[in-house]
Amino acid sequence: MKRTTKSPLRDVFAKNVRLARAELGLSQEGLAHEAGVNRTYLSAVERSEQNISVDNMHKIATALGKPAWSLLKP
């Protein structure tokens, strides 16, 4: 997998996704299924290793029941 330089905003998004997923009691596999993304992709997003598209950000946020912008707030 191609590694990208970490960014502070991606770190915030990753942390917020992990926390929101944990609050819902979802596994990575469960969230990935609900969002329609690959589990390994979601895992990389949660580790802030994957640069995420706006479309996938929306899918994940929707599966978490949150607006996408809220996952970008520190």
Going from the C-alpha of 20 to that of each of 4, 5, 62, 66, the distances in angstroms are 24, 24, 12, 9
Q: Which tokens go with 57?
A: 């950000």
Total tally of structural domains belonging to the chain: 1
Domain assignment present for residue 1? The answer is: no
Within a domain: 13: yes
Q: Tell whether 2 is covered by a domain.
A: no
Residue 2 is predicted with a pLDDT of 57
- Please answer whether residues 42 and 60 qualify as being in contact, where contact means their C-beta atoms are separated by less than 8 angstroms: yes
Question: How do residues 39-51 score in pLDDT, each as one tens digit?
Answer: 999 999 999 999 9
**What's the pTM value of the predicted model, to 2 decimals?**
0.90
User: What are the pLDDT digits (tens) for 3-38?
Assistant: 667 799 999 999 999 999 999 999 999 999 999 999
Residue 40: inside a domain: yes
* 34 found inside a domain: yes
Say which CATH number the domain at 68 has: 1.10.260.40
Provide the residue range defining the domain that includes 26: 8-72
Has residue 16 been placed in a domain? yes
User: In the prediction, which pLDDT does 47 show?
Assistant: 96
